[in-house]
Amino acid sequence: AEAEAEAEAEAQIDSELDAQAKYNKDTEHNNHNPIKPYHERSWKITIHTLGSTYTRQEQNEMRSKFSFLQFPGPVQMKHPDDEYLFIREVELDAMGGAVYPRHCKGEDGKTKKELIPENDARPPLACYFGRVLGNGTLGRNWRGSNRLFRYSLKKRTYLGPTSMDSELSLIMTNLAKVQKGSFAFDPFVGTGSILLTAALRGAQTFGTDIDLRVLRGRNPNENIVSNFQQYGLPPPELVRSDNSIYHRHFRKHLPLFDAIVTDPPYGIRAGARKSGSRRGDGEVRPVLEEYRYDHVAQTRPYAVSDVMADLLNVAAMTLVMGGRLTYVIPSMLDFNEEEDLPRHDCLKVVSVCYQPLQTELGRRTVTMEKVKEYDDRKRDEYLEGTWVNGPQSAEKVANIRERLIEAAKKKPGYEEKAAWRKQKRKETKEAKKRAKLEGAERSQFQVNQFNRR
Amino acid sequence: MRLLTHNFLRSNVKGTENGYPLNIEVTTINCEDSPLDKSFLLNLLPKVNYPALRTAVQQISQHCVPPLKEIPEQLDVSDKESNQNLDHETLKNLHRVLFDVYLIEGWLVCPDTGRKFPVKDGIPNMILHEDEI
């Protein structure tokens, strides 16, 4: 039976290699990197022990447990043909450290000293073993450049303060099962960074935003469309519209989108706004006809609780059955995944991935799937049912910016740091001013030279 | 903006329910060429409002160089099964009008109230003014 399993695994790998070879023939890049047959491929096993350290010897003991796989090729630690990854998962705290650390901390809080036997004896939460398909070393093509690095934000022509890093965007579009032929939608498209990764996966893309400046970019060479052109991708469809009144901008239509992937505005780095007058008294002055052409429509603050309620409702309305909504939500330590996530009768939570950012702040990538058809008549019901704990849960997300500032103010040394930062900003501003004047003087000098001739 | 998007946009100024489909006034228009993705198109067709698409094509066709080929006067696209039987030429023309024609500058006009929504740099601005909500 073991021999059979081995033969099956070999056949599986061989057929993968055949597919790979065919793919390589069709692409230009890999003529310098022919696929080796299975028994010649060098390999190594990488060990990831999250939140814990193991000595080289301990790691090798773990590696030897996989000797039954009997890879025929030679072991090669640097740039092997195949890399296998073993991950040993233990409980982690909010900062990514082990809840039951193997070693006790040294005096400086860092150096690992003795083993804590009870912690060391604890069984892992889970173990994972698999083959690495692409990463820092394997992702390189024959020119040596890392495929993933191509999409790094550092190389993007148009960026904004809210552009999502390419790694998280790729993960989000993966979670939303965006693939070739999908129709992907981002209702808060911003600079288009998430939509771009959807297009990379072969999807048709559609994005809306209420902010016209960010949609149109800085100039014709620095905008969302130029980002797509930078990667040779077909351009997205973009509309300036208000997601809180999606049903008023768009006709009633059959479910359209396979995936909705977005980073909603939480008021941390960009305030959320919706259409309508800022006047609290309900009296709206009519826009005079002669000014209507140039009129900049007023917008008013859009509460985070409503942002999420509207997002889930639009998703329930416009996703096809089985379609997915993936979004990011910032959360502080008091966030309870069971109770505080927004809900919708038509959507089911598929996964929640927590990423710690600072001691008290993290973000969750939530994926939901449409499991029930949307009923127009229940719109108000759906919206009211978003927050199980009522506005309290929404508040946990809404005031993060203020809470972070408050928390930072309480830390020791805050005032000195704030004063230092202020001084630095002043210096930078003055240096810029000086450079500008010198530049102007120089060009004036050149103009004078020219005139003298 | 392509006709694919136009097919779904409407005007709801002061709650009018007759703001669809929007009439198109062309200032600048571009035509590109993209390969036909048959499965995507077949998936999409049942959701498209065909009469609105046809009217839109008639409104912009004269501005396109080369002029757009005719699409059938009437077509029931609601059934996915029967769409599979559409001939290749029709599918190509449908693909062209939905995906390859870009309105860069122009106006989308509400057929009921006459309100004009501007299209600039290919992006339609559908935001309602505060007195139109």
Interchain pair B10, A251: CB under 8 A: yes
- Interface check A249 vs B, CB under 8 A: yes
State which H helix or E strand residue A100 sits in: none
**Closest Cα in chain B, distance from residue A372 (Å):** 19
Q: How many CB pairs under 8 A join A and B?
A: 95
Q: Per the CB < 8 Å rule, is A284 touching B39?
A: no
Asked whether residue A23 carries a pLDDT value surpassing 90, the answer given is: no
B43 lies within 8 A of chain A by CB = yes
Residue with the larger pLDDT of the pair A329 and A260: A260
What's the token pair of residue A148? 């993933």
ipTM score for this prediction? 0.93
Tokens of B83: 């769409």
- Tell me the C-alpha distance between A257 and A133, whole Å: 29
CA distance A199 to A173: 10
- Quick check: A275 contacting B, CB < 8 Å? yes
Q: Determine the average pLDDT of the residues in A141-152.
A: 54
Per-residue pLDDT at A328: 93
pLDDT tier at A138 (50, 70, 90 boundaries)?
very low
pLDDT confidence bin for A404, thresholds 50/70/90: confident
For residue A375, name the pLDDT band (cuts at 50, 70, 90): very high
Q: Across the interface, do A253 and B129 touch by the CB < 8 Å criterion? A: no
Q: Is the pLDDT of residue A371 over 80?
A: yes
Please check the confidence at residue A293 and state whether its pLDDT lies above 70. no
Arithmetic mean of pLDDT over chain A: 82
* Interface contact A115, partner B, CB < 8 A: no
What pLDDT does A28 receive?
A: 44
Task: Please report how many Cα atoms fall inside a 13 Å half-sphere around the Cα of residue A56, on the Cβ side.
Answer: 0
pLDDT at A174: 94
Q: What is the pLDDT of residue A182?
A: 93
Average pLDDT of span B53-66: 90
Residue A10 has pLDDT above 90, yes or no: no
Task: List Cα–Cα distances, A177 to A183, A190, A214, A357, A410, in angstroms.
Answer: 11, 21, 27, 25, 43
Of B37, B47, B49, the CB nearest to A256: B47
DSSP A87: E
| Residue A320's pLDDT band (cuts 50, 70, 90) | very high
- Tokens representing B45 are 């067709």
Question: Quick check: pTM over 0.80?
Answer: no
pLDDT, residue A280, reads 62
pLDDT on residue A326: 97
The pLDDT of residue A438 is: 84
Q: A279 and A307 in contact (C-beta within 8 Å)?
A: no
* Residue A145 pLDDT: 46
Say if B28 is an interface residue toward chain A (CB within 8 Å): no
According to the per-residue pLDDT averaged within each range, which of A299-308, A403-412, B115-124 is highest?
B115-124
Rounded distance between C-alpha atoms, residue A349 and residue B15, angstroms: 34
Task: Specify the DSSP element, H or E, that contains A88.
Answer: strand A82-89
Both tokens of A332, joined, read 């502080």
Does the pLDDT at position A350 exceed 90? yes
In this predicted structure, the answer to whether residue B77 has a pLDDT above a threshold of 60 is yes
pLDDT for residue A106: 66
pLDDT in tens, B87-101: 888 999 999 999 999
Q: Which of A217-221, A317-321, A397-401 has the highest mean pLDDT?
A: A317-321
Label residue A391 by pLDDT band (50, 70, 90). Answer: low
Per-residue pLDDT of B4-59, as tens digits, reads 999 999 998 888 888 899 999 999 999 988 888 888 999 899 999 999 999 999 99
The pLDDT value recorded for residue B26 is 93
Q: How far apart are CA A402 and CA A400, in angstroms?
A: 6
User: Are the Cβ atoms of B9 and A239 closer than 8 angstroms?
Assistant: yes
A153 touches chain B (CB under 8 A): no
pLDDT value at residue A111: 60
Q: Is the pLDDT higher at A119 or at A19?
A: A119
- Report the distance separating Cα A139 and Cα A122, nearest Å: 35
Instruction: Provide the 8-state DSSP code for B132.
Output: T
Range of weakest confidence among A250-264, A274-288, A311-325:
A274-288
Chain B residues within 8 A of A287 when measuring between CB atoms: 129-131
Looking at residue A29, its pLDDT comes to 46
* Confidence category of residue A179, pLDDT binned at 50, 70, 90: very high
Chain A closest CA to B71's CA: distance in Å?
Answer: 22
First to last CA, chain B: 24
**Span A396-402, mean pLDDT?**
74
